[in-house]
Amino acid sequence: MQKFLLLLLSLVLLGPLGIDLYLPAIPAIALGLNSSEAVIQSTISLFILVLGLGQIVAGPLVDNYGRKPVALAGIILYMIGAAMAALANSPTLFIASRLLQGIAVCCTAVVAFSGVRDRMNGDDAARAFGFLNGTLNIIPALAPLLGGLLAEAFGWRAPFWFLVGYALLVFVLIALRLPETRPADTRPVKGLPVRQYAQILRQSRFLSFAVVNAGAMGMALTYVSLAPNVLMGTAGLTPLQFSLAFGANGFWIMLVSFFANRVIRKVGRPFCLATGGVLMGLGCLALLFDITFLTADAQTHWLAYMLPVAIGCAGLAFVMGPATSYALEPYSNEAGVASALVGFVQMAGGAALGLLAMALPLQPKMALALVMAAGCLLALHARQRSKQLKGQLNRIG
């Protein structure tokens, strides 16, 4: 089972690598393409938005054609998109390349989460989702540093050629090693299953837990989008210092995620939802304390941003696995469609929440505090909902 999870992890890593690897190179990309940094930075939100919307289409594909063929097709699209970015000579072509990579990751993400649901259930599934989400954070920990070094040594196009090489390696591994896990009783899907999606969305249980991931993703997106401006612009960190601070938080989330997996085994998923909600609430209060009580000089220090972020991100590590497993648990014979809908709610909902907070006339810390507060409330509501599930059947339909 460990080898199976590592194969799924190699697929999931395509998403965060596609976001975090080029963060330190954003100024150089903007300069190289005669564009503004704001335009290049917007491709992060566009990538995540497409990733959310595209999973609505990818879900039926993995249920109809199997997990493995869709994964391989997604990886090929990813390589093409990364090569387009590396060869881009205009902002328009660069944006198009990022959109194509977002579409590609739709396929690989749905395959990964469907694979977990195919093989596992309950606390085992929660730990698997927690493992994937926790290990993912080695990418924010290392990718900006790697991307910065590659860009400094070989130019801003080098990180995208690295993505081409990584995707090629994953293609070979998936082609040779990943088994097909689609259950024999999977419901066939004709066209876009609007009625099937609507039926799942009408389930209050599904929504209660899926929106938790939207709140957590909104917090992560807001943090990532604002980090270059706050840490390099306001706090005055160099790109290398930014990469180290950003990376340290990634390692922190990974450490907390592995601890949360042990907590799930000891005391269960409801406790983790409550813990995650409280931590996001504390992160929000820490940001408000910074804004209200610290001096102007102290507020510009990088720790005044990163310490509250670390508290809130610890909450994210506690809620993602339990919320995903609770949401998908009833849908064993339509795991692809349900996984796609979870991904859609998480990514599109998180992108909308983050973009809304950043569009408001608020200073960056206040915008992030607002999203943390939303994540806190959604997680605590899910904790209350989990109390009602005791004694109920795990499967619907």
What tens digit of pLDDT does each residue of 83-93 get? Answer: 999 999 999 99
Structure token pair of residue 27: 């100024």
Q: How far is CA 255 from CA 125, 214, 338, in A?
A: 19, 22, 29
Amino acid making up residue 213: N
What tens digit of pLDDT does each residue of 35-88 get? Answer: 988 788 778 878 888 887 887 888 788 888 888 999 999 999 999 999 999 999
Residue 275 belongs to a domain: yes
Residue 392 belongs to a domain: no
Amino acid making up residue 296: A
Q: What does the chain come to in residues?
A: 397
Residue 186 belongs to a domain: no
pLDDT, residue 331, reads 80
Gap between the Cα atoms of 58 and 54, Å rounded: 6
Burial pattern 203-225, b for ≥16 Cβ within 10 A else e, equals: bebbbbbbbbbbbbbbbbbbbbb
Residue 224 belongs to a domain: yes
pLDDT, residue 138, reads 67
Structural contact between residues 132 and 11, judged by C-beta atoms closer than 8 angstroms: no
**Residue 391 φ then ψ, to 5°:** 85, -5
The parent domain of residue 79 ranges over 2-178+192-387
Amino acid making up residue 295: T
Report the candidate in 282, 358, 344, 341 with the shortest Cα–Cα distance to residue 314.
282
What tens digit of pLDDT does each residue of 227-269 get? Answer: 877 888 889 888 778 878 888 888 888 888 888 888 887 888 8
Residue 397 belongs to a domain: no
Residue 301 belongs to a domain: yes
pLDDT, residue 395, reads 43
Q: In this structure, what CATH number is given to the domain that contains residue 273?
A: 1.20.1250.20
Report the candidate in 394, 392, 383 with the shortest Cα–Cα distance to residue 208.
383
Structural contact between residues 374 and 218, judged by C-beta atoms closer than 8 angstroms: yes
Structure token pair of residue 117: 């649901």
Q: How many domains does the chain divide into?
A: 1
Residue 187 belongs to a domain: no
Structure token pair of residue 251: 């390692």
Residue 323 belongs to a domain: yes
Name residues whose C-beta falls within 8 Å of residue 391's C-beta, 6 or more positions apart in sequence: none
pLDDT, residue 394, reads 45
Below-50 pLDDT ranges, the chain: 391-397
Instruction: Count the Cβ atoms, other than its own, within 10 Å of residue 362.
Output: 13
